[in-house]
Structure 1
């Protein structure tokens, strides 16, 4: 169908062409070729033959060049473009689809083109051919488009990229190379996101999310470029404003004045005046920011016919004007010089007026992007060479032949003062369009003529700073030049408005059009970068981060990443700012990295905090790491970052075990034993893993294990206590002694370690006693063999079998009694090991450090140990009495009273009144039972 349609169109075109060929031949050469645009109604009535010719041309273009963009006002407004391609981010698979292109190195060349009053700001971007964008979608791109938020998914690698750049460049000499790396990373990512935006255009919500991320990264890229340019200048030129000699001294040779031009004067001004030089850097940066949109527009729009004829429709109408004019016609100019419309107060043809307006708009866009030569080229191609010449009038005059008579061409405008005066006069004329006023206004330093066409905050800053630089340049020229003629004075308004960077931003923020835009995140950052007020900038960024924790206006993660690396740059270059605010910003970023699970990045950024904050944040981070391999990896990263691993791991365990504090004083031995291990208990048990990786931390591991076991024993979670006890390697005591000997060469452990080992052995003795009692209880209650029974009326055979079973029963019963006696003896020994623990008693420190006062943690530990004595020892006494009384060892039960009452062990001190009463009641039962064994109530044999 498509081929048939094409053939029909081609045949129809060929027939029309043959029928109209004579007419086209007759008209050839009489007038310039007309554009493919709509003409005015008056002109259309008298141009039927030209319409036919134009129809031929349009038809031919529709057949042979279907992709041709028609040059109409409508198409101009709706022209679309495809963004150029740059290398993709280094962390994405899609980078393999792009051809590697070497990056250019940014330069700070402030005096390459001083005749143009601005630096040749060199971009780091390297543009690839436009057909790169037509390549097929890669597998990675398809995967990204399937994500809920393609922009964020595609940009996750930025966090690692920035961290690696920051980690690889640490010295102050590498700071600007670091900023350049940041630029490259952002630039590559912006290109990738542009591609995703075009691919996701049919999915409106995803496209919007991706566009939001793209906006953040484009603004970040612009901010890095600004920072790079400003601080590179500070490093190269220094902060002193008067480092170079005065111009008068430089131009004196052997007592005679040497020739110097406007350009030389301004070059010296820029060398010694820091503020004006920084102002010009801002102008260059703003023009560079606008260059992308300019490039896209310039490549996709063709304004005029290829023949360099200005006002072609007006010319045609004048050449073909009928002898008798019609009354309905509007007065058109009858002369074609550039001043004719103003001088005669007459009109151009409608299409020419439309072309003129669009041309002026485009010229302003060129100037806004710093492309004055491009604007002049378009003027010449459009038949307005005179306008191209007028755009040359602002350049500084310089004749190099005075110094080197080698026939060098003269630069700039010797009558620049006259040209500026004319420009200022011209923009006062109400008949001049706003874009034409803005063009000559910005080139001549007329701020009031430029602002009406400024639409964004960046446009306003550009206009103000360009006017500020222009005024300072003009002042210097008029003060230092030795022209042979008096300079033409400029209007008083030119010098009345004294602009400085702070005043510029003050006035811009007062403009209603851009007031809201001026307070956006990135524009505030750019403002303070330009002002060089890092102290106030850090305060503002801190407020954003602080308010973002509570308000809905949460700082985007990419903006937070940019802010953190910005303050780290300030810190590395010794900029004035409050360290506590900087640390708070870094902490906010670390918190977000933890939330977003960027685990491999946390250690490096934690290392930029003070020591105490390092321990706090990395310990908080490690609390959420449960996988053992990942735990080892995080500790390895912490070691590379220079963090205090022993203190951090200790803090991790302390944090985890402090989540549920226990009141030891409110507990009693009567509470029921808890066997269920909760999730919270499991976290405490697993936390000990952090301390067993390194043998040098074994003493701390034992100390923390003791603390957790104290809490478990207090609530009778003996299963959990046994489990965490087994977490500690069995050779830990030997390891502690060995590590101390390796570190100090001494065999005597310090007091704290000796007390830790003693407590560990106390807990071990208690757990062994409980395990032994459980074994006895199981054997006593569930291990006793069952006596066989014989029913009535049994046969002889059944009786014989019963006797055989009885013999087996008696043998098993004897074995059971023997085992029970052995287990009873073992249980009794284990319990006595606790009750009669050597050197001061169970859970009592043998060694006291009298030289140092106990801190709060030691006091809390001592309270817990005392609480455990009161909780455990009475209970063990009751258990031991139960074992002995059940085994009918009544005399042994009565001896327990002597042990409790002994002043050597002072066990009676840990009993409460009700507990002593209960113990006396148990002893009374044993005393009554011993009477049946021919003994007195105290267990002594009767004579």
Structure 2
């Protein structure tokens, strides 16, 4: 990477070399850059949290977020980051994007009817953030020349500073951050110039002067107010407070020259003198003549400033000024108004402390001996501590604790997107971020993408979350997707491409939809259930529940699981009488054009019994019987009313065929129910097995008695057309009480035993009517029920 793109170091700003030094304002020491293998500390990243964002009140859909595909562009930049070169280019790309949007909004806000600056301020703030990331990335990834020069026997503070920047990457990065914080500080209104020193107080004294030896004027020196505890005129007090504030604001921006100038213009030359101690001791070359300039005893001056900063009787901004000069952040923080101000205070203190420590170790000039005691007690801080104190705390307050209102959609979305990409960028650099807070922010952003249906991007960001979280959030997203099968398959493929656990996600998606179905225990008593005809239409919510199975069809490994869960769905719907829904599930599995047809499961080749397949066949046989009965009933009701021989013959033929078919399916249905493989197994049953048995028994309590009664109707009503059906209708009693099946318990629990006895009585009486002498078999069968 070309060094021309690097961050310039400003030696004129704090810490300074000299006001009069003939050195260009910006220079770049050739040894400033660190190698890519040398860094290990945290990369501190400020954010766009400020008052301008908190005050935005625009609607997200009214902006350009989706119209200009902003979030898509950010995702593309992140997704295309593969190599180290790509990673270092990311902040620059984001900065350029923000600058384009900033200019667009700036132009729009400058119109006659739209002067609100908030639209572009939010982009300006983000642009500044990515600018810092760019500068730090360029510093970290730019190769440098090794320093092989021998240390000179005598070095000035200015030379030591350049050396420190070259050999200490943490210090150099802190320097870059401070310069950035100087640059982005907003404009402020400086104090009005008043060149006559304390004019109002002086005039008041002259007016009250009565004696030539009056002592009143003797407190007009800089320390007089604090020494004598006498107040200045209120106008002078206000002016000096504004002056102190203005000086601080200049120092906050690294503009020491301006701070001195404003002091001179207002007659506060003592302030200029006190600030001049910041000039580093250094060599000056003028016409080949070397001379020294700057503060040779800067460490003594700094200690003095530190003690001044801790004078409680001083004005808060005066203490803050001395805090800046000494690097004491504790006396700067009270006047900091923005988050950026706080960060600057910590970094400025960090730089001053590290710089002073380095100078003290390599002192090469006359001054106080190293053993002299210069008490100064500034708490040490590091970029890592600042990161923890400010960035993570602020992100948590703004997003997790909901201090940034969701009602302010643009600000919320903008900040959330930035915070997410900052975290992802830091992780790409393999730098540590607080896992809990970072994951929560990425999760919030992913949820926002789901809310605004940015379906193509969700898998990308979900893949950056912990495994369980990614499964949960992507399944929640898929649960509500109502697109076509092909479109849903694409979402499944996207998840697979981004390394998500698609098998777990598909199962979780089904479970979430499945949970919306009431359990059998909530359906009420068995005898109150009304069986819904297969012909009745099903509700949209029930269609969604059926389509939930389709999520399990995309991966072949889940086909057997899909069949098993299909059985579960059938049980749940049948338990509530929704035979129409269960019937659709079965039919969909049999329909070759349906996505569910892919999960049809056959018996294993080794001949072992598969309970999943057996249960599926049970439900298929049940649905097939009930479907045929509805056909039988429709055929029976279509009997010709007029005595047309041909129509009657055709009808007789049809009713015989459908009745015989119905009889075959009836026996097939009952035979398939006889054996419950899980219930009869010797294996220890799980909770799932127990639930399945309980639900299956409920289903059979509902549908076996009903099927027997329906079949009796079909056999009894066709006794004239198919004479043997009369005896069959009565022999249903034998089937119900057969010891191997014992279907009578279902009649008892469903309270249908009385209805069965009444139906058998009709058959019994009809047999007696036709053949009164042959009643032995009838009596034998009757005894079984007694």
Q: Same fold (TM over 0.5)?
A: yes
Per-residue displacement from partner, 1:765-809 (whole Å, max 9, x unpaired)?
22221121111111112x11113xxxxxxxxxxxxxxxxxx5xx1
Per-residue displacement from partner, 1:698-735 (whole Å, max 9, x unpaired)?
43433333222222223332332333333335359999
- Corresponding residue number in structure 1 for 2:184: 289
Distance 1:887 1:447 in 2: 100
* Residue pairs, 1:454-469, within 5 angstroms: 458-459=340-341, 462=344, 465-466=347-348, 469=351
> Are the equivalent residues in 2 in contact too, given 1:114–1:267 (CA < 8 A)?
no
Distance 1:117 1:601 in 2: 49
Between stretches 926-935 and 454-463, larger displacement belongs to 454-463
Distance 1:219 1:911 in 2: 75
Cα distance change on mapping 1:632 and 1:421 into 2, 3 Å: closer
Higher relative contact order (CA 8 A, sep 6+): 2
- Corresponding residue number in structure 1 for 2:676: 844
1:873 Cα deviation (Å)? 1.4
> Are the equivalent residues in 2 in contact too, given 1:900–1:908 (CA < 8 A)?
yes
Per-residue displacement from partner, 1:61-114 (whole Å, max 9, x unpaired)?
xxxxxxxxxxxxxxxxxxxxxxxxxxxxxxxxxxxxxxxxxx998635669889
Distance 2:346 2:555 in 1: 63
* Residue pairs, 1:776-925, within 5 angstroms: 776-781=632-637, 783-787=638-642, 806=643, 809-837=644-672, 841=673, 844-845=676-677, 853-888=684-719, 889-912=725-748, 914-925=751-762
**2:459 is the counterpart of 1:606:** no
**2:540 is the counterpart of 1:679:** yes
**2:627 is the counterpart of 1:771:** yes
> Are the equivalent residues in 2 in contact too, given 1:667–1:715 (CA < 8 A)?
no
1:148 Cα deviation (Å)? 6.2
2:449 to 585, 588, 593: 593
**2:426 is the counterpart of 1:561:** no
Distance 1:739 1:106 in 2: 63
Per-residue displacement from partner, 1:531-588 (whole Å, max 9, x unpaired)?
2438x96577456655439998999233333333344445555555664554444333
Distance 2:158 2:355 in 1: 10
> Are the equivalent residues in 1 in contact too, given 2:6–2:139 (CA < 8 A)?
no
Cα distance change on mapping 1:267 and 1:216 into 2, 3 Å: same
2:380 to 488, 500, 508: 500
**2:495 is the counterpart of 1:641:** no
Cα distance change on mapping 1:495 and 1:751 into 2, 3 Å: farther
1:168 Cα deviation (Å)? 2.5
1:600 Cα deviation (Å)? 2.1
* Residue pairs, 1:17-56, within 5 angstroms: none
**2:565 is the counterpart of 1:688:** no
> Are the equivalent residues in 2 in contact too, given 1:121–1:288 (CA < 8 A)?
no
Per-residue displacement from partner, 1:808-865 (whole Å, max 9, x unpaired)?
x13322222222122111111122210122xxx3683489886x75443343233322
1:189 to 101, 114, 119: 101
SS in 1 for 2:526: coil
Cα distance change on mapping 1:690 and 1:266 into 2, 3 Å: same
- Corresponding residue number in structure 1 for 2:280: 396
> Are the equivalent residues in 1 in contact too, given 2:463–2:499 (CA < 8 A)?
yes
SS in 1 for 2:512: helix
* Residue pairs, 1:160-171, within 5 angstroms: 160-169=72-81
Cα distance change on mapping 1:936 and 1:550 into 2, 3 Å: farther
> Are the equivalent residues in 1 in contact too, given 2:624–2:665 (CA < 8 A)?
yes
Cα distance change on mapping 1:901 and 1:768 into 2, 3 Å: same
1:604 Cα deviation (Å)? 1.4
**2:150 is the counterpart of 1:258:** no
Cα distance change on mapping 1:833 and 1:586 into 2, 3 Å: same
Distance 1:458 1:231 in 2: 20
Between stretches 278-287 and 450-459, larger displacement belongs to 450-459
- Corresponding residue number in structure 1 for 2:210: none
> Are the equivalent residues in 2 in contact too, given 1:705–1:724 (CA < 8 A)?
yes
> Are the equivalent residues in 2 in contact too, given 1:619–1:649 (CA < 8 A)?
yes
Distance 1:714 1:670 in 2: 11
2:768 to 931, 934, 939: 931
**2:515 is the counterpart of 1:658:** yes
> Are the equivalent residues in 2 in contact too, given 1:667–1:714 (CA < 8 A)?
no
Distance 2:621 2:87 in 1: 61
SS in 1 for 2:752: helix
> Are the equivalent residues in 1 in contact too, given 2:277–2:298 (CA < 8 A)?
no
Per-residue displacement from partner, 1:444-486 (whole Å, max 9, x unpaired)?
8799999999765645654675466446545654664333x54
Distance 1:660 1:902 in 2: 35
TM-score, with structure 2 as normaliser: 0.69
1:659 Cα deviation (Å)? 0.5
* Residue pairs, 1:136-151, within 5 angstroms: 149=59
Cα distance change on mapping 1:940 and 1:438 into 2, 3 Å: closer
> Are the equivalent residues in 1 in contact too, given 2:736–2:744 (CA < 8 A)?
yes
> Are the equivalent residues in 2 in contact too, given 1:927–1:938 (CA < 8 A)?
no
- Corresponding residue number in structure 2 for 1:131: none
Cα distance change on mapping 1:863 and 1:408 into 2, 3 Å: farther
> Are the equivalent residues in 2 in contact too, given 1:691–1:701 (CA < 8 A)?
yes
SS in 1 for 2:770: coil
Cα distance change on mapping 1:842 and 1:437 into 2, 3 Å: closer
- Corresponding residue number in structure 1 for 2:363: 481
- Corresponding residue number in structure 2 for 1:724: 585
SS in 1 for 2:516: coil
1:882 Cα deviation (Å)? 0.9
Cα distance change on mapping 1:539 and 1:932 into 2, 3 Å: farther
Per-residue displacement from partner, 1:168-213 (whole Å, max 9, x unpaired)?
226788655444444444444344333343348548xxx4xx72x6
- Corresponding residue number in structure 1 for 2:45: none
> Are the equivalent residues in 2 in contact too, given 1:669–1:872 (CA < 8 A)?
no
> Are the equivalent residues in 1 in contact too, given 2:157–2:359 (CA < 8 A)?
yes
Cα distance change on mapping 1:895 and 1:228 into 2, 3 Å: same
> Are the equivalent residues in 1 in contact too, given 2:559–2:598 (CA < 8 A)?
no
Distance 1:740 1:168 in 2: 42
How well do the aligned residues superpose, as a CA RMSD in angstroms?
5.9
TM-score, with structure 1 as normaliser: 0.59
Distance 2:717 2:600 in 1: 48
Cα distance change on mapping 1:114 and 1:149 into 2, 3 Å: closer
Distance 2:513 2:625 in 1: 28
**2:480 is the counterpart of 1:624:** yes
- Corresponding residue number in structure 1 for 2:6: 107
SS in 1 for 2:110: helix
1:625 Cα deviation (Å)? 0.8
Cα distance change on mapping 1:185 and 1:265 into 2, 3 Å: same
Distance 1:537 1:422 in 2: 31
Cα distance change on mapping 1:701 and 1:181 into 2, 3 Å: same
